[in-house]
Structure 1
């Protein structure tokens, strides 16, 4: 028996792939349990007999489902149905998945429209569903409650939640239920959590006779020396000491040198004051002011690219390809613009003795990477299908493809892509060469990232070495994201959003000098008047729930 369903959409919400094959779709029931979370058809004896709770195939009779699927630019346009990973999974599971592509640049609008109109298929895959929408549409029954389904049919994800209790905390919504399966990075895979280190050119350090910077002052001295030396040998002083796309990533890299941002990149406004062990709004503290003063000093002295507030990554990488960048932040200069001889720095020690590596992402990167809808007649099978990719066998298939076809196993047990992918004879990049086999390029996918089977730029030797340097001073208590109630979300998306916008604008002005630091106290008062007290109350409530999950 093949079950097909029709996803009806208005012209404004039409997606890029062909429309789905027509068929029948059943009505939904309240998702209060595995049996009640599915349609009446799921409870029929025929469907119960075809479903296998363990092992492969997942179902004895073929079924067909459709996923609303976010598509990253790096993923090319090859239909996922034609890629090796899903062809292999279909053969194993007896489940055919139709992937309805939605490019990332229009993803939010089309996802919101589909949810608002009830115009959605069986599941959302790589669709970046935010926690607020998981809570809103989960409480309405649009997203299926997965608590019991995961417990019964997702042993791999369950094992991860038992090993890393913070994962369960972060997946659990304020109503106590789980509505999604995440994109999860191994918390011990530090290069992946860092993602984009602060890189410096080792050969330029050598030319200058300067050792690798260990402190903020030593890093500053290196930038000054770069500005005054023709290191690329072209007869011009065109070297750029530091460049990036905006200053946010740079601030996130160095703020630990002033002891702020103590709970990681998932919390860019609130952390814990080590002196009081209480929540603090650190963006208005004296220490954070000193961070901005340091960046302003670099900008004023010409040590920061004057284009930093306006250029995109394409422009940045073009400068890197011309061998102009002494220091920058990106996944890896070698993979981004063939930049050679870069090393990642560890935590820099600050003027007051602080030394904390703060540029660490939340391991659960996308909580709503996968969500099952009330139109899905096979939620148990769908959970099993997705859970396979959270285990070693399925994760290896998801990230590497098939042994002997897209990757090989070395004598030491490590995995590597075949030569045709690593060094493509047609000149394709790694991402381009992988589009016939896998679909993780560009991120946001549901699944489990581990060094054993993930071979992106974060697994290269220089990235691993950067992680080793960061480890001694990494954040000890890394918070995952908090989940807010609807009223709290309303506050954060209105007053909280206004505060964020105002602070970002003013911080840019402090850095470029258009706002003098003599106005700092007035600025701080304005921010507090906008609602810092209420902001901290909302955060405290979410924090308390997070701890109680």
Structure 2
């Protein structure tokens, strides 16, 4: 990457004047909580080296607020100490415990005594609505131009992934907070997958089904042909504790990719009230009545499901990894193949819900920051694979060390090998919080290499999930008024749908009866489904317009 230097004194002063005019509505920044050290810094010449270290030739100091991870103080972590030396940017930390962070964050913005950097707050604290609110008030600065000029790694990612740019662009066309972008082996999973019992497939000489019809046939064989070989008809073809999680993987077979709002050719619909949902209910009602679904599906706990799994009684189940349910070793779990999205008349392509592979609201620059250009260059390293590994594992000599630096060979240190994740949490703050940057699956350290199970997960994901994923609805920004209007409605509808889903599937309600179905749909309409669709349609349209502008 070419070295690109900018003398930013004029830029910083101009930014300060603009923000002073809009920061608190009266053109006077005397009450914005700015501190003397920041005021002094504005008067300095700051040269920014884009794509090179040090980022600044003359050291500067910025203040950063983030949730504490509880493993060590940030200023004592070797990763942050090393990065300060690499960049020339020192930090003064405010890191309240995670449980207290939300309260401290809110008080900070209420008082307008702002730090220079907001780091890893998470969307539950820096919500999309607050991004817009604080941005329009001038407390968070727009990042669009800074990304283009000072963040080549992030800029390239946004160019390659326009859906990410769309998701972080607020209705006024500005980006006020940066995301975490995930590229790891499991990042494409919308939720923990469904897993087949591989031993049962082997016993029946069966393959992973590709169509809804083949899937039904396999479930019948699981029920009837004693695949666990104990001579007792105790097999449960499908089991889980409810359908909330497994449903995500089944919806695609019925032409849906979410259990809520979905955008289809620019139009928003509410899936639980569509004919697609009715087909989903009908199918599960059928297989439930045939004994192909655990009759305790809606009443058992996850622990009860796992107990059945460990007794080798389940043919298909949902979990993050299959051995969490079966109790097998990783080596044994390699034999349990991942569910393949099912093709059907509703979905000939066999697609499944896609993960956005990103989390919003992980980094923001406040109006108090005297060096936003250097700050953007500082965070940009986290959006490179090299930076990801540095912040995930820390510098050499702690968690790991060089066996052959020239040859690029690394080994675990004795303490790193013995204490593992606990020790890593003392070295880097990229542990237990949602940090900005690029999440990738890192190469193994030392001679161990990638485990067979890790290879299995990667290959199954690349074959069955990645090429078949489809995003149902982009991440959008709702206004405070819209949130206030629909949050109660959305919750009430979700509760009602969950109750009716159980009744439809267990046969308490006949989903094939038009009068029953019409009553279900009209109830959702009366609860506010049409207004829900209108709001999400408006939010979707705004997100498209903001990016196009």
TM-score norm. by structure 2 comes to 0.76
- What SS class does the counterpart of residue 344 from structure 1 fall into? coil
2:366 pairs with one of 373, 396, 405: 373
Contact kept in structure 2, 1:200 and 1:344, CA below 8 Å: yes
- 2:29 is the alignment partner of 1:29: no
| 2-structure distance, mates of 1:410, 1:232 | 48
Name 2:520's counterpart in structure 1: 523
Q: Equivalents in 2 of 1:546, 1:408: separation in Å? A: 46
1:388 aligns with 2:381: yes
- Segments of 5+ residues of structure 1 without an aligned counterpart are 1-27
Segments of 5+ residues of structure 2 without an aligned counterpart are: 1-18, 24-28
Q: Counterpart of 2:45? A: 49
Give runs of aligned pairs for residues 228-377 of structure 1, distance below 5 A: 240-261=236-257, 268-272=260-264, 278-305=267-294, 308-309=297-298, 320=309, 323-334=312-323, 338=329, 340=333, 341-350=335-344, 352=346, 354-363=348-357, 365-377=358-370
Alpha-carbon separation, structure 1, partners of 2:428 and 2:302: 25
Matched residues in 1 for 2:95 and 2:531: separation? Answer: 41
- Give the 3 Å change call, closer, same or farther, for CA 214–142 of structure 1 in structure 2: same
Specify the SS of the correspondent of 1:368.
strand
Distance 1:349 1:502, change over 3 A: same
In 2, Cα distance between the equivalents of 1:297 and 1:439? 50
CA contact (8 A) 1:58 1:385 kept: yes
Task: Render the CA deviation track for 1:197-221: whole Å, top value 9, x for unaligned.
Answer: 2211222210122222222233334
2:531 maps to which of 517, 534, 538: 534
- Closer/same/farther in 2, CA of residues 372 and 221 from structure 1, 3 Å limit: same
Any idea what the Cα deviations from partners look like across 1:250-288, whole Å, max 9, x if unmatched? 221111111122xxx5x8322316xxx743333211221
1:397 shift after superposition? 1.3
Structure 2 Cα separation of the partners of residues 301 and 80 of structure 1:
58
In structure 1, the residue matched to 2:434 is 444
Summarize deviations over 1:49-71 as a string: whole Å, max 9, x none. 35634333345335252323275
For the 8 Å contact 2:353–2:472, the answer to whether it is kept is: no
Which has more radius of gyration? 2
Shift in Å at residue 539 of structure 1?
2.5
More displaced 10-residue stretch of structure 1: 501-510 or 416-425: 416-425
Displacement after TM superposition at 1:96 (Å): 3.2
How far did residue 100 of structure 1 move? 1.8
Give runs of aligned pairs for residues 122-271 of structure 1, distance below 5 A. Answer: 122-128=117-123, 129-186=126-183, 191-194=186-189, 196-227=192-223, 240-261=236-257, 268-271=260-263
Contact kept, 8 Å, 2:402 with 2:411, in 1: the verdict is no
CA distance in 2, matches of 1:458, 1:127: 33
Pairing 1:56-135 to 2, within 5 Å after superposition? 56-59=53-56, 60-61=58-59, 63=61, 65-69=63-67, 77-93=71-87, 94-96=89-91, 98=93, 100-103=95-98, 115=109, 121=115, 122-128=117-123, 129-135=126-132
Q: Is the 8 A contact 2:263 2:473 kept in 1?
A: no
Question: In 1, are the aligned partners of 2:182 and 2:439 still within 8 Å (CA)?
Answer: yes
Equivalent pair of 2:398/2:416 in contact (CA under 8 Å): no
Asked whether the equivalents of residues 70 and 125 of structure 1 are also in contact (C-alpha less than 8 Å), the reply is no
CA–CA distance in structure 1, aligned partners of residues 207 and 119 of structure 2: 50
Provide the secondary structure at the position in 2 that maps to 1:468: helix
Contact between 1:83 and 1:437, CA under 8 Å: does it hold in 2? Answer: yes
Are 1:492 and 2:486 matched, yes or no? yes
* C-alpha displacement of 1:377: 4.9
Change (3 A) 1:353 1:173: closer
C-alpha distance 371-406 of structure 1, shift in aligned 2 (>3 A):
same
Distance in structure 2 (CA, Å) of the matches to 1:408 and 1:173: 43
User: What are the superposed Cα offsets for residues 152-173 of structure 1, whole Å, 9 maximum, x if unpaired?
Assistant: 3222212222222222221111
Q: For each residue in 1:331-354, what CA deviation from the matched residue of structure 2 results, as whole angstroms up to 9, or x when unmatched?
A: 323578545122112211235563
Aligned to 2:6: none
Following superposition, the deviation at residue 389 of structure 1 comes to 0.1
Deviation at 1:180, TM superposition (A): 0.2
Q: Give SS of 1:192's match.
A: coil
The corresponding residue for 2:26 is: none
CA contact 2:119–2:435 (8 Å) conserved in 1: no
Contact 1:296 1:510 (C-alpha < 8 Å) held by counterparts: yes
Q: Distance in 1 between matches of 2:433 and 2:311?
A: 28
Deviations 1:286-321 (A, max 9, x none): 221121232334445554445655666666556655
Q: Deviations over 1:6-64 (max 9, x none)?
A: xxxxxxxxxxxxxxxxxxxxxx83568xxx99958646467633563433334533525
Q: Which digits, 9 at most, give the CA deviation of each residue in 1:61-113, with x for residues without a partner?
A: 35252323275xxxx74445554433432332242363625447x76676556
Mapped partners of 2:380, 2:476: distance in 1: 24
Q: In 1, Cα distance between the equivalents of 2:525 and 2:435?
A: 38
Change (3 A) 1:335 1:511: closer
